[in-house]
Amino acid sequence: MQTKRTFGLLIAPFVVFTSVFFLIAVGKTVSLSFGYDPLLGHHQITWRYYQAIFANKTFIRTLLRTFSVTFLSSLLASLIGLRLAFLIKRSQSWGARFLSRIANVPLVLPHIFMVLVFIWCFDQTGLLVRLIHLLGWHQFQLPVLIGDPYQVGILLTYLWKETPYVLLTLLLVVRQLEDDYFLAAKNLGANRWQRLWYVEWPLVQPAFFNALIIVFSFSFGAYEVPALLGSQKYELLPVMIYDLYQQSDLTLRPLIMSFNVVISVIAIGFAGLLLGLSWWLPGGRRRQRT
């Protein structure tokens, strides 16, 4: 009895805080998205705003664009981070030690700093162009990467910022792996791919998917980078929603809230899909049970 009370007391601050602020906001968002707005005297529940969203081609296109850019950058960051973590573990060299220390730098710097540095390095007259000109290739021209229609600048900035995060989280897991499994598999004649797929991947994949989900969810809904580096013609979702929200038009609120519900459901659904994939793949919890 005593322990139950202690447990209750320990989780009480979290439960109270989450219900008061988080759950109320969720409830308000969902009810507003169905047109229930007592403030304006709307008490009727309607699907109208959801219908408007799915009929809105700009929204669908923006959604797909945002999803592809942020998923591609998160996937690349996760794969490169994973590869680097293994390279660092195997190599005891100064390069590996240096990399594992210095990877903390982009982790500490906010995204806007990374944008500033990205502009200074990859602008048309940025450091990279200057370096290549100095090396003697005077005709070299860098394609436009700031405000470009394909969002390459956004993708590269996220890659620069998130790869170290994945690297450091996975390094914690990779460092704990025993070499014994790997050596045993090698001894039994497993080739490189077999060792990777049957021995190493199952041990790290849960952490890999966790990192991928966190990085993707963050960049999918983040405003700063697309606002500073995005093209105005082909904007990304967070910029679009914020611009709508900023108009302070009370009649727009149900529409914005239904945008919020739709993109939240997509983000949660996609995270669930990735978790399910991790669960189902070798090394996932499904296999552990049997």
Residue 80 vs residues 49, 75, 103, 178, 211: alpha-carbon distances, Å: 41, 9, 13, 22, 12
Would you say 213 and 165 are in contact if contact means Cβ atoms under 8 Å apart? Answer: no
Would you say 249 and 95 are in contact if contact means Cβ atoms under 8 Å apart? Answer: no
Smallest distance from another protein to CB 39, Å: 8
Would you say 173 and 207 are in contact if contact means Cβ atoms under 8 Å apart? Answer: yes
Site for another protein in 208-247 (CB under 8 A): 213-214, 217-218, 220-224, 228, 237-238, 241-242, 245
Binding mask 249-278 for another protein (x = CB under 8 A): ----x--xx-xxx-xx--xx--x-------
- Of 13-21, 147-155, 178-186, 189-197, the segment contacting another protein by CB under 8 A is 13-21
Smallest distance from another protein to CB 103, Å: 5
Smallest distance from another protein to CB 188, Å: 25
Site for another protein in 99-118 (CB under 8 A): 99, 101-103, 105-117
Q: Find the DSSP H helices in 91-176.
A: 94-102, 104-108, 111-122, 127-134, 152-176
**Count, residues near another protein per rule CB under 8 A:** 82
Smallest distance from another protein to CB 198, Å: 24
Site for another protein in 132-171 (CB under 8 A): 133-134, 160, 163-164
Structure tokens at 228: 């500073």
Structure tokens at 212: 């991928």
CA 170 to centroid of chain Cα atoms: 15
Binding mask 81-100 for another protein (x = CB under 8 A): ---x--xx--x-xxxx-xx-
Binding mask 15-34 for another protein (x = CB under 8 A): --xx--xx-xxx-xx--x--
Structure tokens at 67: 């999803």
Using the 8-state DSSP alphabet, how is residue 42 labeled?
B
